A and B are shown apart, each in its own frame.
Chain A
Amino acid sequence: MAFISSGYNPDKPMENRISDIGPRKYDEFYPPVIAKNKGKWLYHEILKPGVLVHVAESGDEVYTVRCGGARLMSTTHIRELCEIAEKHCDGYVRFTTRNNIEFMVDDKSKLDPLVTDLESRKFAAGSLKFPIGGTGAGVTNIIHTQGWIHCHTPATDASGPVKATMDVLFEEFQNHRLPAQLRVSLACCLNMCGAVHCSDIAILGYHRKPPMLDHEYLDKMCEIPLAIAACPTAAIKPAKVEIGDKKVNSVAVKNERCMFCGNCYTMCPSMPLADDVGDGIVLMAGGKVSNRISAPKFSKVVVAFIPNEPPRWPKTTEAIKHIVDAYAKGANKYERLGEWAERIGWERFFEKCELDFTHHLIDDFRDPAYFTWRQTSQFKF
């Protein structure tokens, strides 16, 4: 494996340097039917789950086939989807915000061959490469974070629980039988690069043990004041610690004040929190980002903790299935999960979803907590 230079000269890094050019311009990659009709679309219809038609003022139509995909994707897989796009879609393809792949054709006659081709492709061990679905009143792809594949702060994996959950919810991915769309998201720690906090169902990795302190290295690896300032509950203070015959500068943690956010570890690698027993999953439910009918909502914690159970997280997927089934049965047409929970009352939600209500679910974190307690005599038995 000989080193091959790109032309970059490390001795003169600024020589011939190109920077600040940004992304490629969006309209370089528009399929012709999109370029022609941009801003002039009249309406759309979902022909069947995963297959949409958009009709333009010009009378042009674009047919879209939406496929689920693992967002963790190899170049081999990308090359395969390129091959499909070249065969059927004149070499154009796009991705959605929720990691779906969209193949577009400009004529209905091109649709069936594309669908048949996509449906026929499977990985060696049998899973589908390009499952069609993710539209309308159903479950679409889960947006998620890195997890154990690439992140240093996760409290759970991402790709693993996502695969397990989508296998359990797969029928809803390919159907339109829920009351409204149901968005599931996963963030493997509270940093939430996935911003899951407004999802119908959020799967969140969470720690439950305070940081361990690597006293011998802490002062060498971290800025102690930054580590102290990182703590939102002021649980960290400076400390002198004896190691052998040496006294070193370090920190002390008031464990009972820790809410396990992991922010200290982000600032200081000598304060790891990860633990096979302490870490696991929090389930949140009832959030949404759309302004449709009701205002956007945060998801609420409905299960305080489920242990990590690799490889398939059965307790997590079972609880999710309970929630989805109860919602499908109980909600009105167009009603999002959170709107349903608010209409029937959260006391009824726990009953319908067969979830225990434990003390952990009552907010005790600062001002917003008060606004979640019940300040009315109205409740349901």
Chain B
Amino acid sequence: MAKHETPFLDQLETGPWPSFVSDLKQQAEVRAKNEANVEFQIPVDVVEDLLGVLELSFKHGRTHWKHGGIVGVFGYGGGVIGRYCDQPEQFPGVAHFHTMRVAQPGGKFYKTEYLRQLCDLWDFRGSGITNMHGSTGDIIFLGTTTPQLEEIFFEMTHKHNQDLGGSGSNLRTPSDCIGQARCEYSCYDTQDLCHNLTLEYQDELHRPAFPYKFKFKFDGCPNCCVASIARADISFIGTWRDDIKIDQEAVQAYIGGEIPPNGNAHSGRDWGAFDIQKEVIDLCPTQCMWMEGKTLKIDTKECTRCMHCINVMPRALRIGDDRGLSMLVGAKAPILDGAQMGSMLVPFIKAEPPYDEIKEVIENIWDWWMEEGKNRERLGELMKRQGFQKLLEVTGLDPDPRMVQEPRSNPYIFWKEEEVEGGWDRDINEFRKYHKR
């Protein structure tokens, strides 16, 4: 017999998609039975109360969680988010229900042995409810009490060689795409760069000293599977500078219908026979491809590496060998002043350990933002406020037309005195000799 009636939530148990309500209910039951004899350190009926408070929100159309509260582990300013229920008498099991962010491994690969260790820890000292994973990328432990926070951190670091992730005004846990681990498009080792920078900047990640949050995201190619260009203060997008490698035999196999286009991604519908002219050449945004007889030609110099042709014919076309990445900066979601896409700052940089050149760009940007950024001002907003020129100045990078969509359409250039011959000091009396009042 469930502790709370949940007529609204019960309606989310039907339908094919995995029901989180069914999952929560099974978890409540497992805890109640406790066949594994766990010495639960937080209330055994925590999940029942979670279902209860969620049901109440479905009834009221409003959340029942209070504004945060400052909780954490000693020496860290992030990784734990305080959460309290606003109906603690009715739902004592979730009166304190703090979140812990657990830094995820690159590519989100796991051994089950390790996942089971995390489950054991979280059943013992928390609700057993998680997010796999949170939006930023962390494993999220959802719901424990204040006295358990240090205990969980101690066990995590001592037994599982595992740290917390970021929250608050600091470097958020960086995240990456699957990259070279299992993708033929990846132009650099996203997991290695992500891990390297994560370790390099542990201090920035755990001890908030920034004006606001700061995100790194690593996409191996311009397909951008982790959406870095939309949400990372610095987005690292793989690219290359030389020729797309062409296997002309495989091109013919696509044309002849022996290989399905786009990795068979359109198999559920009859789109007619594959037409390389219509589906690849005509859709190329720079029109840099053509057929010469049975040979596919690409004018590399004109290619902007949009990935379309490679996506359509992955067995015939491969990324080039002179690989690296582009760094785009300043992306953010709408709050406050509207959404911003990442803007191109470094068109091409090699991505090889120890990544010193990349770190130099990052640290120059941080020095500027920490000095000039206002409270809760994202990098993108500071860029808008102080201008792209300022960004060039602080990073010491040379201007490049690749950084802009188009040149400015107003002539309101903020010339600096040293840029104008003779400076700005002039003699009005000298001027008046030739120009009467």
Contact = CB atoms under 8 A, between A and B. Distances in A.
Interface in B81-132: 83, 97, 99, 103-116, 118-119, 122-124, 128-132
Interface residues of B, number: 155
A123 B61 contact: no
A286 interface: no
Contacts of B407: none
Interface string B122-163: 111000111111111100001100010011111101101111
B409 to A, nearest CB: 12
Contacts of B143: 150
Interface string A169-209: 01001011100010000010011111111100000000000
Interface in A123-179: 123-131, 135-138, 143-154, 157, 159-160, 163-164, 166-167, 170, 173, 175-177
A117 to B, nearest CB: 15
B265 interface: yes
Interface string B164-203: 0100000001010110111110100101101100110011
Contact of A177 (B97, B134, B268, B337): B268
Interface secondary structure of A, over-half rule: loop
A54 interface: yes
Contacts of B165: 23
A77 B203 contact: no
Given A20-B163, A41-B184, A159-B20, A177 B269 contact: yes
Given A78-B132, A163-B21, 12 more contacts: A27-B191, A39-B180, A45-B263, A75-B129, A91-B111, A92-B112, A95-B132, A123-B13, A128-B16, A149-B54, A150-B99, A195-B230
A124 B116 CA distance: 23
A185 to B, nearest CB: 9
B378 interface: no
B255 interface: no
Interface stretch (A107-115, A244-252, A272-280, A319-327): A272-280
Contact of A137 (B97, B228, B265): B265
B308 A293 contact: yes
B392 interface: no
B311 interface: yes
B256 interface: no
A26 B174 CA distance: 13
A18 B158 contact: yes
Nearest to B13: A125
Which of A146, A275, A312 has the largest count of B CB atoms less than 10 A from its CB? A146
A43 to B, nearest CB: 4
A160 B58 contact: yes
Contacts of A4: 39, 41, 124
A59 interface: no
B370 interface: no
Contact of A25 (B26, B67, B134, B195): B195
A348 interface: no
The 10 A-B pairs of least Cβ separation, nearest first, read: A276-B61, A136-B265, A26-B106, A167-B15, A123-B22, A177-B268, A125-B13, A192-B333, A74-B27, A176-B268
A127 B19 contact: yes
Contacts of B25: 124
Interface stretch (A8-16, A235-243, A353-361): A8-16
A42 to B, nearest CB: 6
Contact of B112 (A86, A289, A366): A86
B17 A25 contact: no
Contact of B279 (A23, A27, A96, A333): A333
B23 A73 contact: yes
Contact of B14 (A17, A19, A71, A127): A127
Given A82-B115, A198-B230, A29 B163 contact: no
A377 interface: no
Contacts, number: 453
B66 interface: yes
A334 interface: yes
A195 B333 contact: yes
Contacts of A27: 191
Contacts of A228: none
Interface in B310-355: 311-312, 314-315, 318, 333-339, 341
Given A91-B111, A97-B226, A150-B65, A26 B191 contact: yes
Given A22-B198, A99-B133, A192-B334, A29 B57 contact: no
25 contacts: A6-B154, A8-B154, A26-B191, A39-B186, A43-B184, A45-B263, A70-B19, A74-B128, A74-B130, A82-B119, A93-B112, A97-B175, A101-B132, A128-B18, A152-B67, A160-B12, A163-B12, A191-B335, A197-B230, A197-B333, A261-B335, A289-B224, A289-B229, A291-B305, A310-B8
Interface stretch (B68-76, B292-300, B395-403, B424-432): B68-76
Contact of B26 (A76, A104, A191): A76
A306 interface: no
Given A8-B154, A293-B285, A127 B16 contact: yes
A165 to B, nearest CB: 9
B74 to A, nearest CB: 4
Nearest to B98: A150
